[in-house]
Amino acid sequence: MLVADHAAFVKLGRSLEKTKAKLLEAANYVDKYYKSLNIRVALIWLEIWNDQNKISVTDNPYSTLGAFLTWRRKQLKQLPNDNAQLITGMSFQGTTIGLAPLKAMCSEYQSGGVNSDHSESAVGIAATMAHEMGHNFGMSHDSEGCCQALPEDGDPSHPQHPFPRVFNPCNQAELKRYLSSGGGKCLFNPPNTRAMYGGQRCGNGYLEEGEECDCGEAEECSSPCCNANNCTLKAGAECAHGVCCENCKLKSPGLLCRPPSGSCDLPEYCDGKSESCPANFYLVDGSSCAHGKAYCYTGMCLTLEQQCLSLWGKDARPAPDLCFTKVNEAGDSFGNCGKDLMGKYRACTERDAKCGKIQCLSAASKPIGSNAVPIDTTVRDGQRKILCRGTHVYRPDQEEETQGDTLDLGLVMTGTKCGDNAVCFGGECRNASFLQADECNAKCHSHGLCNNNHNCHCDAGWAPPYCEQVGNGGSVDSGPVITHSNHVVVIFSCQASQRSSPSGPPRSRHSIVRPTGKPPPIPAYALQQQSPLSETTSSPHPSPSVTPKPRPNPPSRPPPPCPVTKPSQVKEVSVLHLLYTTSFINPHLPSPTRPTIY
């Protein structure tokens, strides 16, 4: 989803056509950038606030981001999307031109960003959106020695490149780590091609209604199964693309096409009717995992143990609760619970301490990240000294700290358990009941758990939708469990585009930016669009003495943005349902050690 605020509209001469054209061109550039990572960005909704803003947009990027993400969440039922980006004509404070939460892709609360329209060129705003979206994907800012892009290409993760066009190997490695940890689950759900902005077109690489296949433009098509000039299958072919298609033939039903990536994920299988692997399903946010020690959040089982290992490497583990309490009460760059709406560090209260800077025990000399330094603090527990190890991410080319465009990589991740029935959210320890996992699971009669569509995924032997009668298992989304020999598999149904031979001459091919190279499989992370353009109308639509005290209601704003790691190519093309944001951080290098706290 892409939104232009009133200031952006005014900046372009109050012209709907000029505003629309610039945003569409920028969206095409972003899609082109991410194709190199085997990710497609499909625009499904474009909205221009040509009358007045629907949220409060100010020069404060934090409050603007919070307001925009709250607005986006309210639109999700009418306008389902994986990510949303706001383009504003407002200039943000300081050097910030965009802001986005870290590792937030697919999050109901945080997947999106805000971007200042700082350039007359569409390439400029596209570079900013690609940069901020990279933070959503877990990509951080490049450090010295990391950027290996050619000078003429630039790098979207390097803020000093004005118009970057490629991602470097560091970005790709970060993306790979994020995806392999269970992030980006929504990317594997094919977009609603009938809702994609710009209409249907043979040669765009998307399988749309009336097409039997689509391998891109004739000069880039390498499929032995598809006629590129009219998007029809060649003689004898049953399919052309997708992981459930092999040698132009559909794979048998029940064959695994996407294994679960962790304890919070569910497997997907070919259904024998579609060439595409079904949409990706995972356990609803708030489901218990890690033997009750953690919660599932956006398809990932988030534990302090896993976060310490990712920051410090082998043998790292969470520090005692006393470290979290003592260090995070400071409210500075060494210990905090994130930033407030003014971009200032927030001191953690006792109940929120385990949602601030993560504290680990490790013998490593420094954190794994190339632009991260250790923050060592010694605390006393009686006669025992404990070395609490935190992490600070910095930009080596900047001396003074300014508001950044991502959250601190060293913060405990949103969705991490912080107490009994309590979860970290925006740097605060809140009651996990707002995720409504228990309420949803209760309707499954103890014979299944809710998936991310809030439908019961029944155990083998029980039938959906409520797992109260004997059946083959699965869900109304994923299909029944069937038995092949000694193996029990789950068959997921997916809504594939109807394939019928197009009549008449091939459709004309109109596009703003013609993609280069072979298009990846249909992206898994694409925004859904209800109508092409909304103008003036609204959118349709543990320390021994510290026990966190959960709060009853979810926050009205997202946590400050975090750094993002960029993944390497994924085998299955992902499609992003999108809204955009961008901002840049300027933290100074902190001294590596703090005095002992008594």
Return d(Cα 186, Cα 300) in angstroms, integer.
12
Return d(Cα 375, Cα 319) in angstroms, integer.
13
Give the distance from CA 532 to its chain's centroid.
24
Determine which one of 132, 217, 268, 275 is catalytic.
Answer: 132
Q: Is 131 annotated as a binding residue?
A: yes
Of 400, 424, 408, the C-alpha closest to 554 is 424
- With residue 384 as reference, give the H or E element that holds it: strand 384-393
Return d(Cα 123, Cα 128) in angstroms, integer.
9
132 is catalytic: yes
DSSP-H helix ranges across 333-441: 437-441
Q: Partners of 463 in the beta sheet? A: 469
At 304, the amino acid letter reads L
Residues comprising the chain, all counted: 598
C-alpha distance across the termini of the chain, in Å: 51
Residue 171: C-alpha distances to residues 125, 304, 563 (Å):
20, 24, 11
Cβ–Cβ under 8 Å, residues 136 and 183: no
Task: Label residue 342 exposed, middle or buried (CB < 10 Å: 0-12, 13-18, 19+).
Answer: exposed
Question: Two tokens at 206?
Answer: 């998307």
Q: Is 510 annotated as a binding residue?
A: no
Return d(Cα 185, Cα 258) in angstroms, integer.
11
Q: Is 457 annotated as a binding residue?
A: no
Give the DSSP letter of residue 411.
Answer: B
- With residue 177 as reference, give the H or E element that holds it: helix 169-180
Return d(Cα 574, Cα 576) in angstroms, integer.
7
Taking only Cα atoms into account, the Rg of the chain, rounded to an integer number of angstroms, comes to: 24
Annotated binding site for Zn(2+): 131, 135, 141
Annotated binding site: 131, 135, 141
The catalytic site residues sit at 132
